[in-house]
Amino acid sequence: MNVQNTSLPGVLLLEPKIFADPRGFFLESYNRRVFAGLGLDLEFVQDNHSKSCRNTLRGMHLQLPPKAQDKLVRVLSGEIFDVVVDLRHGSPTFRQWEGHRLDANSMRMLFIPKGFAHGFCVLSETAEIFYKCTDFYAPDMEMTLRWDDPMIGIRWPVTAPILSGRDQKGQPFDAMPEAFAWP
């Protein structure tokens, strides 16, 4: 597994080893021993799979402690622009964001630690996204940061995104809790 650090501490781009031949390919997307060797000794407890059409924007979501989640995101088909925002008060990169193009061809994955809001928009006709989480979905602990909050300034590659009702009602950064207690 090739690991690339990003500008946000803890967020990692992961490139699995791909074994290809005329029949197709094989890759190991997750191996607990390999991840532990990278300092990511995690127990994933929930897998999620979504399919969305072009210009769909999902996010920016996070769960608060004690139900905060680490995530491992992978694109199974299509292409997305995947975005994370550091919401860990006291972090040197607090309120900073970065985006990465993930697609089924490169098979790169994004590891997102607790304390980051996460979202993506679909760049291809459709995209299927698969992600592992270290805690179960807890709607009472979930927050949605406004996808177009000017204090964050995410530069999305779509101008008229398709949003869910929940994402349309995302909170502005100013309304987010002041004291996140990230483990």
In whole angstroms, give the CA distance from residue 116 to residue 53.
Answer: 24
Q: Which of 30, 49, 61, 137 is catalytic?
A: 61
* pTM of the entire predicted model: 0.94
User: Rounded to whole angstroms, what are the CA distances from 157 to 54, 78, 160?
Assistant: 11, 15, 10
- pLDDT of amino acid 63: 93
Residue 72: which of 54, 96, 48, 97 has the closest Cα?
48
Report pLDDT for 183: 47
- Residue-level pLDDT at 90: 86
**Which one is catalytic: 30, 100, 131, 137?**
131
Render each residue's pLDDT in the chain as its tens digit; 183 residues. Answer: 999 999 999 999 999 999 999 999 999 999 999 999 999 999 999 999 999 999 999 999 999 989 999 999 999 999 999 999 999 888 899 999 999 999 999 999 999 999 999 999 999 999 999 999 999 999 999 999 999 999 999 999 998 999 999 999 999 998 876 545 454
pLDDT score recorded for residue 122 = 98
80: left (phi over 0), alpha (psi -120 to 50) or beta: beta
The question of whether 61 is a catalytic residue gets the answer yes
User: Can you give the residue ranges of every domain in the chain?
Assistant: 44-175
Domain 44-175 top-level CATH class: mainly beta
* φ and ψ at residue 173, rounded to 5 degrees: -55, -40
131 is catalytic: yes
Position 181 scores a pLDDT of 46
